[in-house]
Amino acid sequence: MNSGALLRIRDLKKTFAQPGGGRLTVLEVPQFELAAGEQAVLIGRSGGGKTTLLHLIAGLTSPDEGSIRVGDIELTGLSESGRDRYRAATLGYVFQTFNLLPGFSALENVRLGMSFASGRHDIQRARELLDRVGLAERADYRPSQLSVGQQQRVAIARALASRPRLLLADEPTANVDPASQQQVIDLIRETCRDEQVALLLVTHTMDVADQFDRVENLADINLAFKAAAGMTH
Amino acid sequence: MNTLQIAWRNFQQRSLASILTTLSLALGVALTVAVLSVYGIVKDAFERNASVGYNLVVGPKGSPLQLTLNSVYYLSQPIENLPYTQYMEFMTKEQRAEQVRRFGGPAELAEREGAYSAYIRGGFAIPLALGDFFGPFRVVGTTPDFFELLRYGPDVDQPFEIAEGRFFEEHSDQYGYFEAVVGSRVAQEMNVGVGDEFFPTHGDPTGHGHDLGFTIVGVMKPTGTPNDRVAIVNLEGFYLMGGHAKPIDEEDLSEEEKAALAEAETAEAEDGEAGGAAKFKPLMIRQREVTSILVRTGNPLFGPQIQNVVNEDIYAQAAAPVLEINKLMNLIVVPLLTALMVITVITCVVAAVGILVSIYNSMSDRRRDIAVMRALGARRDTVTTVILLESLLIAVIGGVSGWLLAHGAIWLAGGYIEAQTGIRPGLFSTSQYELVILPLVLALAALAGLLPAMVAYRTDVTKNLSA
């Protein structure tokens, strides 16, 4: 066990109700850790529970059993508003589909990333982040006026706006054109390194995974997947 | 970004739907404010002008409301006339003797106190003679006491003031009895000023013109009362115009009265030849009539008493303007107000439903935005507040725009309103009734925002993030 771990998962179990009755176990992770500032990639087949794991770490949904601890915060013991505060202050999230708000400019989307964390309303920080992702000149552009790659760069800036300690990136290159994919990965990794932010990136692209020192296959750490695979065989 | 900025961005993002919803609300509010405002302005003005320093109006028997309307507001038609001797009943014995000496009349009039004189000790009685017009404006014959003793304003303490010239005198060397003072609106609309002469028409604005004219010696400052819309002339001059003297049977006259009458007719004939008005002799008491008398009792407690005493008279009645206006309000205006308030509530509810439909319809499009905000750390009550604020933004913008629109329209229609009521509303003249509209709209908008806000509150974050 890594005593300096930022993220510690123990005996995590998540089930979903099935249409025909009963519950399907999609995640059963005995142990998973990520050190502060560490960068890791999580690979796995589509529908293997990667996004569910990220949602659990983000506190967007609750596990049936187990513990998720980020720093000193035990997520499973938090109320919903406590998890909201945790997401606002501790966590950054880059979505596969960017999820920029269409009515807001690039700068406003980045500012939105710090709007819900108390004491972090720093417009200068938002401008610096846009500058870092190369979009200082397009701060007032709406998402519809930006290319797909530019939109994902705004989403990265937004995810880092509130100075999180952990960044979750869910297939960040899945909707980006091939020419921009490497730029996006480089940007995420460099920015996280500069900001001392731990990174857990989910992908199914081996070209992306191969660039990371630590690659975890969800199939290896998820007992539910193994059980399902065993039943299949 | 704070929640208000986020709500404003949402409003802008759906600009067409937002503007149309706001416009529909603004029109509803404008309609309601306009109706209630006009009602309130007119009602306030009626009530305020019901007291211009006097508490009773005495006139011929008939409708007390009509008496109030024509003597206080110069609306409607005068009922009839009272003999001048009714006016003299408000005078002391000495004052009555002076009247007989000045104008000529039965000697017995000077031998007793006026029947009502005791009630108005410390107060006043001012005669009015109505019936003529200057253009569309009424001509009011009265005495200089009208300017000296009457007061107006919220505390009934403001004297009439002259913007140009002076008030008329009982008799001047220059114009004799034919001086006039015009209200501010009369001067403006008839384009007249000090030194101009006008010839009143008899009976109605299109009636025949009198041969004798009045010279304007003063223009009053605006008062916001019906007096802005009248030409006030010397009562003595008013009497001297053709057809204004009450016909008398010479057989009823005493020798002194016959001699005075002959002297007056001779002087008038000579003056007519000379082409001036200075030598006219005032009418005799028997030839005089008044349309009404504005009375302030010395002690307000005497008001009901004198009213009862006057009402026992076979010719005269006394009306309390405030009571008459209140009766009019309760009989016609209060039910009208109730109907207007119901329409107001319905209009506001319809507008609120418009807000509800507009925002609710957009909720399916913005569930993803809400989920994103939640994923960024927004609490449930934060996204709920954003939706409620958006609803309130529509209400505030629509409500204020509607209010401004209504007052702009009222201001533009000020001339028409004044022509109908005698009151010219200002751009920001507000009534107490419209003050309820904005809070009502805001409350209903908040209520309308609740349902979509609940949708926002219950938005499933994980489901909508991957939608």
Relative orientation angle of helices A106-115 and A123-132, to the nearest 10 degrees: 130
Instruction: Say yes or no for a CB contact (<8 Å) between A99 and B368.
Output: yes
Give residue-wise pLDDT tens across range A148-159.
889 999 999 999
Contacts of A93 in chain B (CB under 8 A): 375-376
Tell me the whole-structure pTM to 2 decimals: 0.67
In this predicted structure, what is the pLDDT of residue B272?
52
Q: What SS3 class is residue B212?
A: coil
Closest Cα in chain B to A57: B375
Residue A158 near residue A109 (C-beta atoms within 8 A): yes
Strand pairing class (B82-83; B197-198): unpaired
Closest Cα in chain A to B366: A101
Closest chain A C-alpha to B432 CA, distance in angstroms: 40
Give the angle subtended at the CA of A143 by the CAs of A140 and A146, to the nearest 5°: 85
Q: How many residues does chain A have?
A: 233
d(CA A203, CA A39): 13
Return the HEC string of B107-128.
Answer: HHHHHCCCCCHHHHCCCEEEEE
Contacts of A51 in chain B (CB under 8 A): 466
Contacts of B13 in chain A (CB under 8 A): 102-103
Contacts of B380 in chain A (CB under 8 A): 80-81, 84
From the list B10, B371, B378, the residue facing A116 with the nearest CB is B378
Beta bridge mates, A144? none
Closest Cα in chain A to B464: A99
From the list B2, B375, B380, the residue facing A87 with the nearest CB is B375
Rg (CA), chain A: 18
Contacts of A58 in chain B (CB under 8 A): 375
Instruction: Say yes or no for a CB contact (<8 Å) between B10 and A158.
Output: no
Instruction: Say yes or no for a CB contact (<8 Å) between B375 and A60.
Output: yes
In this predicted structure, what is the pLDDT of residue A233?
46
Closest Cα in chain B to A83: B377
Closest Cα in chain A to B380: A81
Instruction: Say yes or no for a CB contact (<8 Å) between B376 and A103.
Output: no
Instruction: Report the run of H or E that residue B343 belongs to, with start and end.
Output: helix B334-375
In this predicted structure, what is the pLDDT of residue A107?
95
Q: How far is CA B144 from the centre of its chain?
A: 23
Give residue-wise pLDDT tens across range A175-229.
888 878 888 899 899 999 998 999 999 998 888 899 999 999 988 888 877 666 6
Give residue-wise pLDDT tens across range B329-380.
888 778 887 887 788 788 888 888 888 888 888 888 888 889 999 999 999 9
In this predicted structure, what is the pLDDT of residue B421?
62
Q: Where are the alpha helices (DSSP H) in B226-333?
A: 235-240, 255-274, 302-311, 321-328
CB pairs A-B closer than 8 Å: 73
From the list A81, A91, A101, the residue facing B379 with the nearest CB is A81
Instruction: Say yes or no for a CB contact (<8 Å) between B375 and A58.
Output: yes
Q: What is the DSSP letter of B291?
A: S
Q: What residues of A are in the B interface, CB distance below 8 Å?
A: 51, 55, 58, 60-61, 80-81, 84-89, 91, 93, 95, 99, 101-104, 108, 111-113, 115-117, 121, 158, 162
Interface test with B, best of A116, A166, A167 (most B CBs within 10 A): A116
Which is nearest to B69 in space by CA: B61, B78, B60?
A: B78
Q: Where are the alpha helices (DSSP H) in chain A?
A: 50-58, 80-90, 106-115, 123-132, 148-160, 178-195, 206-209, 218-221, 223-232
Structural domain count of chain A: 1
Give residue-wise pLDDT tens across range A41-81.
999 887 788 889 999 999 999 999 999 999 999 999 899 99
Domain, as residue range, for A199:
5-232
Instruction: Say yes or no for a CB contact (<8 Å) between B375 and A113.
Output: no
d(CA B385, CA B381): 6
**How many CA atoms, within 13 angstroms, populate the side-chain half-sphere of residue B253?**
18
The series of mean pLDDT values per 10 residues for chain B, 467 residues long, is 88 88 89 81 69 84 90 82 93 94 88 91 93 92 94 85 94 92 93 94 72 91 88 94 81 72 67 56 90 90 87 91 84 81 83 86 85 91 91 92 91 77 69 80 88 88 78
Tokens of B220: 């009053």
Closest chain B C-alpha to A113 CA, distance in angstroms: 6
Q: How many CB atoms lie within 10 A of CB B56?
A: 26
Q: Order the strands of the A23-35 sheet from edge to edge.
A: A23-35, A5-17, A65-70, A73-74
Which is nearest to A221 in space by CA: A3, A24, A43?
A: A43
From the list A80, A88, A108, the residue facing B376 with the nearest CB is A88
Tokens of B223: 């008062």
From the list A61, A88, A89, the residue facing B462 with the nearest CB is A61
Q: What residues of B are in the A interface, CB distance below 8 Å?
A: 1-2, 6, 9-10, 12-14, 368-369, 371-380, 382, 461-462, 465-466
Closest Cα in chain B to A80: B379
Tokens of B371: 């989920």
Tokens of B192: 């007249």
d(CA B194, CA B218): 6
User: Looking at residue A171, which CATH number applies to its domain?
Assistant: 3.40.50.300
Cβ burial B399-438 (10 Å sphere, 16+ → b, else e): bebbbbbbbebbbeebeebbeebbbbbeeebbbebbeebb
Q: How far apart are the first and last CA of chain A?
A: 32
Closest chain B C-alpha to A195 CA, distance in angstroms: 18
